[in-house]
Amino acid sequence: MCYCFLGAGLTELKILNSGCQVDVSPAKAYRGADEKDLKKGSNLSTTIDALAAENLKPRSHSVNYVSSDYESLDYDHYESELTVREEKLNGYKTVVATNVIRWLIYFSIAICTAAVGIFIDTIIEYLCNWKFQSIRNCIDVKHSTIECLIIWILFTVIPTIIGCCVVLFMEPSAAGSGIPFVISYLNGVRIPRMTAVRCLLVKVISVVCVCASGLGGGKEGPLIHIGAMVGGSVVEAWWKSFRNGPGRKIIGPLQNDQERRDMMAAGAAAGLSAAFGSPVGGTLMSLEEGTSFWSSSLMWKVFFCAAVAFPTYNAGKNILFTNHTNPSESVHGKSIYFFGKFNENTIYFSYSEFPIFIIFGIFGGVLGALFVNINYRLSIFRLKHIISNRKKLLESVFVAVFVAIVNLTTMILLNNCQKKLEISSFNVVQMFCPAGSYNEISSFWLHTQEENIRSLFHYPIEAYSIFSLLVYCVTYFILTELTVGLNMSAGLFLPSLLIGAAWGRIASKVIHYYSPGIIGNDPGKYALLGAAAQLGGIVRATISLTVVFIEATGNVQFLLPLMITLFTAKWTGDFFTDVQMEKKNSWCLQTYNVVHLDEV
Amino acid sequence: MCYCFLGAGLTELKILNSGCQVDVSPAKAYRGADEKDLKKGSNLSTTIDALAAENLKPRSHSVNYVSSDYESLDYDHYESELTVREEKLNGYKTVVATNVIRWLIYFSIAICTAAVGIFIDTIIEYLCNWKFQSIRNCIDVKHSTIECLIIWILFTVIPTIIGCCVVLFMEPSAAGSGIPFVISYLNGVRIPRMTAVRCLLVKVISVVCVCASGLGGGKEGPLIHIGAMVGGSVVEAWWKSFRNGPGRKIIGPLQNDQERRDMMAAGAAAGLSAAFGSPVGGTLMSLEEGTSFWSSSLMWKVFFCAAVAFPTYNAGKNILFTNHTNPSESVHGKSIYFFGKFNENTIYFSYSEFPIFIIFGIFGGVLGALFVNINYRLSIFRLKHIISNRKKLLESVFVAVFVAIVNLTTMILLNNCQKKLEISSFNVVQMFCPAGSYNEISSFWLHTQEENIRSLFHYPIEAYSIFSLLVYCVTYFILTELTVGLNMSAGLFLPSLLIGAAWGRIASKVIHYYSPGIIGNDPGKYALLGAAAQLGGIVRATISLTVVFIEATGNVQFLLPLMITLFTAKWTGDFFTDVQMEKKNSWCLQTYNVVHLDEV
C-alpha cells in the first residue's frame, strides 16, 4: 500500500526500509502479549510467567546496522490496577477534565492544520500570479523569447534551489510527500525528528517552492504529513504550556505513545480533509493507508478532527479570496467542492457504459504500474549515483531548467490558438495568436494545478485539442516522475489526477468523435474517471478515494462508475507491479517481513 | 457502541453478556502472543519458550457457568515455516486459484445477500398491499368500524404469531435485530447456530412478519445479520460442494476462523448496503460497529462485497417493481436513493442555521438516551417476568392487538382531512372525509415504512398537521419500544428514522411559523436532520451514519449539517445514558471486562 509513495524521496526509501528492522526489546513484545491475553479473557498470572521468562532471553534479534535512534512505539492500552488506583487518587473531576482537554487538543489540531493549509495556499497563489504576470508581460508585450526563457528559468530555478536547500541542509527528513513517514509512525516506528517544528517549517517552505516553481509535485501529500506533524506538535505545545502547574495531572495522561499516535492520525486526516475538502475521505484515507492499530474510538476522534478542519479551511479561503474571484459560481470560484460541482442534469451514465469504465480502470492501472515501476528504478538510480548534497542540488536545478525549457518550447512549437472562453481564462497568454484568442497549452503551464484540474473537468469539449492534451499528458508524466524523487516536498495526488484527467479527456474526445450521443458536449465525466483510474492505479486505495471523489465533486451519482474504475485500476495495478518490489517495500509495514537495506 | 441494540432481544442480552465470559485456553492465548511477537520483530525462539510455559499453567480462569458451546475464535494470521512449505508444495497455481475462488465467494455472498433482500422486500410489499386493500374496502366501502377492527387485528396478530412462533420454537437465536450477534462474532465469540441455515430461514420469515403486521420494527437491522449469515453459509456451501475433489486444496485454505470472519463482515456490509443503497456507508458501519480486528485488506474485501450488493439489489428491485410504479420520478418510485433525492436547488443551508443543527442534535441525543434507558428497563422486566415461551407468545399477541387498536382509534379520533396530493397517495383511506381528500393519519399506518420516510422527507409542508405528526411520533416511539424487545426479528434503524423525521417535521413547521424565510416551503431538510439526530442518539455512530445519509439522499450538500447533528447527538446521548449500564453491556466487547449474568 505504501509502495507507491516510496519513490517520493530517497531519504524515505531508506527510512522506510530501515524502519522495519526496528529493534524490539523482548520486554515490549511480551507486554504486547500480555495485553492480548487479557483481551482474550485470560488472567494476569500467564502474563507474569511471560514477564519472568523475559529475563532468560538474550536480545538475539537486534539488528546492528540500524540506527539506535529508531525505536518502536507502544500503542497498547494499559488497564492495570495501578492505572485504576491512580485515576481514583486523581478523582473523577481530573478524569473528566482530561477528556475535555483531549477534545480541545483535537479541536486545536484541526484549526492549526487548516490554518497552515490556508497559509500555504495563499503564498502559492501569490507567487504563481507574480510569475504569470512577469511571463505574460515579456511574451505578449515585449515579444522577446530569450528574455522570457530566462525569466521563466529564474522563476523555476530560484524556488527550486530554496526548496531543495532547506531540505538538504536543514531537515533532510522533510523530503518527499512524507506519507511513508506517517504510515511508519502510525504503525509503530518512531522516526527521529518526525514531529519537530523545524521539519514542519522546512516542509511548508519546500512545498510552497515546489508548487510555485511549476514542478510536477502537489501539495496534498505533504499536507497529510504536515497535518500529522501539527498533531504531534500541538499536543507537545499543550504539555509544555501546562506541565508546570495544576494542569500537569490533567494533561499527563495524554502524554503517551497511543494518544500521540491518535492525534497524529487525526492531524493527517485533517490535512487531507482540508486539501480536498473531504472530511469522510480524509478519515478513511488516514485509516486505509495509515493506521493498522485501529479502533472505533480512534475512528471518531479522527473524524471529528477532519470534520472541524474542513469548514475552517473553507471559511478561511472564502474570506481571503473573495476579492479575487468572480462572485458567480465559476469553475475558479473557491467553491466548497474541490473539483467543482458537476451538474447532475447534464452528466449522467447508463449501464451500457460499464465496459468503458472497466477499460478506463485497466488503462489507469497499467499506467499507474508503469509510473510506480519507473519511479522505483529512478529511486534506485538516485540511491546509487546521486549521493552527495551537491549532486542532489544540481539534480534539482537540472530538473527545474528542464521544466522551464519544456514549458516554453511546447508553447512555441504547439502554437494552437484557442478562442477565449467566457468562463474564465485570465491566466493565459496570447503569444502569436490573434486578439481574443490565446495559446492553448499556455493555460496548462500557467494555471495552478487546482485551476487546471477544474478546467479539465468542466470546460466544454472543444476547449482543448487532442494534440495539446496528449503533449500535456506525456510531458506531465515525465515531469512528475522527475519531481517526486527530488529532495523537496512534493506529493503525487494532484499530478496523478492531472495526468489521468488529461487522458480521460482525450478518451472522451475520441468517444465523442465516434458516437457523439454518449457524452453530448460534456467530457467532464470521462476526465473524472480517468483521474480516478490514474490515481487509483498509483495509490491503490479504493474506498477512501471513492469517498474523496464523491465529496470533492459534490456528486453521489458517480458512485458506481467510480467504484468500478477504482477497483479495476487497483486490481490491474496489483497485477502488473512486480510482486518482488511490493515485498521489499510495502510488506514491511503490513506484516513483519524484515527488509535489508543492502538488498535494494 | 452495541448497547443500543441490546434491548432488541432477551436472548441476545443473555448471549452478549455470557459471550464475554468465554473460556480461552492458554494455548490460544499464547498463540495470539507469539503472533504479536513476530509482528514486533522478535524471532521464533521466544514463542517456543512461551509454548513450553503453557504446559505448566492450570486453566485457572475458566468460568464454570458458561456453556461450553461458546468458544473463542482465532483471527490471527499464521505465517509459519510450515504454512510456507505447504504453499510451496501446493504450487503457485493453487495459491492463485485460492485467491480467485476467494473473490468468487465474496461475489456470491453479495449476490445472495441482495437476492434475499429483494425476496424480503417483495413479500412485504405484497402483504402490505393486501392488508391495505382489505382495510380500505371495509372502511370506505362497508363503513363498518367493528369489522374493520377485527380485520386489522387479524392482519396484525396472525403474522405476529407466525413470526414469534418460528423464533420461539425453531430458532430462539433469531430474535432481535441480530446485530449484537454479528458484533460478538466479529470480535471473536463463536455463538452456536449463528450461521445455521435454519436461523437464516427463521430470520427471514420473522422479519417479513414484523414488517407486514405493522409493528414498530424495521428490516434493516435484521438484514445485517442475514447478510452475515449468508456470508457464513456461502463459504460453507462452497466447501461442501468442492471438498471431495481437486478443489479441496484450493478451498481448504479458506476454511479458517479468519477467512470466515472476513466473509461475515463482508456479508453484514452487503446487507446494509442493499438495505439503504449505501455501499460506502455499509462498509463503514460494518467496521465502526463490528470489526475490532481490522485491516486494510479486510476493508477492501468488505467494500467489494458492499459494492456488488448495491447495484444487484437495485437492479432486482427495478425489474420487479417497474409495473407498479409511476414512470416519472415520484417519491415512491424505486429510485436509486433510498430516502429519495433531495433537490439541491430548493434545499440549502446557511451558516446561521448551525445553532438549530446543534439543538437538533441535543434533542435527538436526549430522546435517544431516553429510548435506550426505557428499553433497558423493559429488557430487565422481561428477563425477570416473561420467561416461559407461552408468556412470550402472549406478550407478542398483546402488542399486536395494541398496535391494531391504537392505529384505528387514532384514525377515528383524529379525523383530520387532507386533500389528495398530486405526488402519490394511493395508500390512504377516505374514511369520513369528503371526496378527493383522505384521513391524514391513515397514510402513516397504511404506508410501508419506506414510503413513510420518503413522504416525511419530501412532501410539502402543508401535507401533515403538527397534531398528526405529534400523535404519530409519540405513538410510534411507544410501539417501537414495545416491539424491539419481542421475540421476533425487528431492527431499530427505520423506526428511529421515522420518529426523528416526524419531530423534525414538527420543528420545521414551528420554525416556518415564526420565520418563514428560513425553509421556504420545504421541510425536508429538518426532517432529515431530525431523523439523523434520533438515529444517532440511539445508535451512537457518527461517520458511518453520515455516509449512509449522504448516499441515501444522493446529496453531499448536507455533509456539514449532518456531521454537526450526529456529533452532538452522540455526545449528548453518551452524556445521558448511565455509565453503569454501558459498562455492563457494551464494554464487554470493546475491552475485556467480564460481566456476570446474575448482575443483571
Helices (H), A137-178: 145-165
Percentage of chain A with pLDDT > 70? 75
The CA distance from A533 to the nearest CA of chain B, in Å, is: 16
Contacts of A20 in chain B (CB under 8 A): 41
Give B63's contacts (C-beta < 8 A, 6+ positions apart): B21, B23, B594
Interchain contact, A61 vs B49, CB within 8 Å: no
Choose the mutation target among B3, B25, B40, B51 for the interface with A, i.e. most A CBs under 10 Å.
B40
Is 50 exceeded by the pLDDT of residue A592?
no
pLDDT score, position B520: 61
CATH architecture of B92-317: Orthogonal Bundle (1.10)
Give yes or no on whether B92-317 and B353-592 have one common fold: yes
Interchain contact, B37 vs A60, CB within 8 Å: no
Residue written as grid cell 434493516: B220
Residue in chain B lying closest to A552 (CA): B556
Interchain contact, B41 vs A61, CB within 8 Å: yes
> What pLDDT band is residue A347 in, cutting at 50, 70 and 90?
low
> What is the spatial distance between Cα A163 and Cα A156, in angstroms, rounded to a whole number?
11
Q: Please name the amino acid found at residue A503.
A: W
ipTM over 0.90: no
> What pLDDT band is residue B322 in, cutting at 50, 70 and 90?
low
CATH architecture of B353-592: Orthogonal Bundle (1.10)
Tell whether the torsion through CA atoms of A272, A273, A278 and A284 is positive or negative: positive
Q: Could you tell me if A556 lies within 8 Å of chain B, comparing CB atoms?
A: yes
Interchain contact, B554 vs A556, CB within 8 Å: yes
Residue in chain A lying closest to B43 (CA): A61
Is 70 exceeded by the pLDDT of residue A562?
yes
Q: Measured between alpha carbons, how far is residue A247 from residues A87, A95, A101, A109, A238 in Å?
A: 15, 12, 10, 19, 10
Angle between helices A296-321 and A257-276 (to 10 degrees): 40
Q: What is the dihedral of CA B224, B227, B233, B238, to 10 degrees?
A: -150
Contacts of A26 in chain B (CB under 8 A): 42, 46
pLDDT score, position A473: 93
SS3 A418: strand
The CA distance from A495 to the nearest CA of chain B, in Å, is: 25
Interchain contact, B22 vs A41, CB within 8 Å: yes
Of the candidates B502, B358, B472, the residue with the CA atom closest to the CA atom of residue B411: B472
Nearest to A551 among B23, B33, B556 (CB): B556
Choose the mutation target among B59, B81, B184, B300 for the interface with A, i.e. most A CBs under 10 Å.
B300
- Tens of pLDDT along A212-231? 888 888 888 899 989 999 98
Q: Which of residues 261-290 of A touch B (CB under 8 A)?
A: 279-280, 283-284, 287-289
pTM above 0.95, yes or no: no
Interchain contact, A543 vs B303, CB within 8 Å: yes
pLDDT score, position A119: 93
Interchain contact, A79 vs B591, CB within 8 Å: yes
pLDDT score, position B518: 67
Contacts of A294 in chain B (CB under 8 A): 294
Q: Could you tell me if B358 lies within 8 Å of chain A, comparing CB atoms?
A: no
- Tens of pLDDT along B13-36? 333 333 333 333 333 333 333 333
Is 90 exceeded by the pLDDT of residue B416?
no
Nearest to B296 among A288, A547, A592 (CB): A288
Interchain contact, B550 vs A556, CB within 8 Å: yes
Task: Measure CA B411 to chain center.
Answer: 29
Average confidence (pLDDT) over A565-594:
58
pLDDT score, position A8: 33
Helices (H), A386-448: 389-413, 440-446
pLDDT score, position B101: 87
- Tens of pLDDT along B330-382? 333 445 677 877 776 666 677 778 888 999 999 999 999 999 888 888 888 88
Q: Please name the amino acid found at residue B248.
A: R
Q: Could you tell me if B60 lies within 8 Å of chain A, comparing CB atoms?
A: yes
Interchain contact, A50 vs B45, CB within 8 Å: no
The 3-state secondary structure of A5-47 reads: HHHHCHHHHHHHHHHCCCCCCHHHHHHHHHHHHHHHCCCHHHH
Contact A444, A425 (CB under 8 A): no
The CA distance from B485 to the nearest CA of chain A, in Å, is: 27
Interchain contact, A42 vs B53, CB within 8 Å: no
* Sequence spans of domains, chain A: 92-317, 353-592
Interchain contact, A563 vs B307, CB within 8 Å: yes
Nearest to B554 among A310, A543, A557 (CB): A557
pLDDT score, position B558: 82
The CA distance from A1 to the nearest CA of chain B, in Å, is: 9
- Tens of pLDDT along A102-142? 889 999 999 999 999 999 989 998 898 888 888 888 887 87
Residue in chain B lying closest to A187 (CA): B40
Q: What is the dihedral of CA A40, A43, A47, A49, to 10 degrees?
A: -130
B291 vs A299 pLDDT, higher one: A299
Is 70 exceeded by the pLDDT of residue A582?
no
> What is the spatial distance between Cα B598 and Cα B317, in angstroms, rounded to a whole number?
47
Average confidence (pLDDT) over B269-280:
89
Contacts of B547 in chain A (CB under 8 A): 280, 547
CB pairs < 8 Å spanning A and B: 183
Contacts of B26 in chain A (CB under 8 A): 42, 46
Interchain contact, B294 vs A294, CB within 8 Å: yes
Q: Could you tell me if A247 lies within 8 Å of chain B, comparing CB atoms?
A: no
Interchain contact, B46 vs A28, CB within 8 Å: no
Contacts of B37 in chain A (CB under 8 A): 29-30, 32-33
SS3 A72: strand
